[in-house]
Structure 1
Amino acid sequence: PDFVIELRSPSDHLKTIQKKMKEYQENGTRLGWLIDPQTKTVEIYRPNQEVEILENPSTLSGENILPQFTLNLEHIW
Structure 2
Amino acid sequence: MKFQNPVKKFKGDLEAKIRESAINAARSRIILSGLKPENLDPEELEIIVREEEDKIRSRIKEKGLFALAAALGLGWWI
TM-score strictly above 0.5: no
Between the two structures, name the one with larger relative contact order (CA 8 Å, sep ≥ 6).
2
User: TM-score of the superposition, structure 2-length normalised?
Assistant: 0.28
Q: Which has the higher helix share?
A: 2
Structure richer in strand, relative to its length: 1
TM-score by length of 1: 0.28
Higher CA-based Rg: 2
